Amino acid sequence: KFLIYNQTDSVSSFQIDQSNNATFASNVTISGNLTHSGGDFNLPSGAQIDWANGDARIVEGDTNNYSLSFQTYDGSACNTALRVEGNNNAYLAGKLGIGTADPDGDGYSYAEDLVIKGGNSASDGAGITIAGNGKTYGVIAFGDAADNNIGEIYYSHSDNSMNLRTNTNVALNLDSSGN
């Protein structure tokens, strides 16, 4: 065991144990690159990693003990851009572009919250697949403050029909024969 003590209060400031694990009693400042090879990199619960310029941060336990938040600086404060919860739910602040870094510029002005931009080849497609995996319905729901599914486009796997719902009522039903 290798120890370095604080001269003032004889408390161990740094130690390396028999397994070559290093322990620091307080903050460690690194002016160059930090290289870690093999093994776990353990941080205490509630810890965060900050970039020196203050532009980004990763925080564990920001909203509860089982969350991991990725924060970015907006000019006045670090705000959560992406949070992953312990139950595998994710929260994304802002807009999402798939195949584009500019959903505002590449999306229709009333539908730029999620923009999927196809590839450069004319034979490429852009799309969304809703795979039921044993569920009864595949649904795209349209909601408002009063009703979270006032309108829907849904496919029923039980009878292989496609349905369009407006004002909570089925307005169009295409059965498995296309009628």
Q: What is the reported pLDDT for 78? A: 86
Tell me the one-letter amino acid at 102.
D
For the chain, the three-class secondary structure string (H helix, E strand, C coil) is: CEEEECCCCCCEEEEECCCCCEEECCCCCCCCCCCCCCCCCCCCCCCEEECCCCCEEEEECCCCCCEEEEEEECCCCEEEEEEEECCCCEEECCCEEECCCCHHHHCCCCCCCEEECCCCCCCCCCCCCCCCCCCCEEEEEECCCCCCCCEEEEEECCCCEEEEEECCEEEEEECCCCC
What are 13-41's pLDDT values in tens digits? Answer: 777 888 877 777 777 777 777 777 777 77
Q: 132-139 long-range contacts, Cβ below 8 Å, gap at least 24?
A: 132/157
What are 102-158's pLDDT values in tens digits? Answer: 888 888 888 888 888 887 777 777 888 888 888 999 999 999 899 998 999 999 999
Q: CB-based burial of residue 56 (10 Å sphere; 0-12 exposed, 13-18 middle, 19+ buried)?
A: middle
What are 84-113's pLDDT values in tens digits? Answer: 988 888 999 988 888 888 888 888 888 888
Q: What is the reported pLDDT for 4? A: 65
* C-alpha–C-alpha distance, residues 131 and 66, integer Å: 28
Give 34 or 78, the one with higher predicted confidence.
78
What are 40-76's pLDDT values in tens digits? Answer: 777 777 788 888 777 898 888 877 768 889 999 888 8
Q: What is the reported pLDDT for 14? A: 75
Q: What is the reported pLDDT for 65? A: 67
pLDDT bucket at 77, cuts 50 / 70 / 90: confident
* C-alpha–C-alpha distance, residues 84 and 153, integer Å: 28
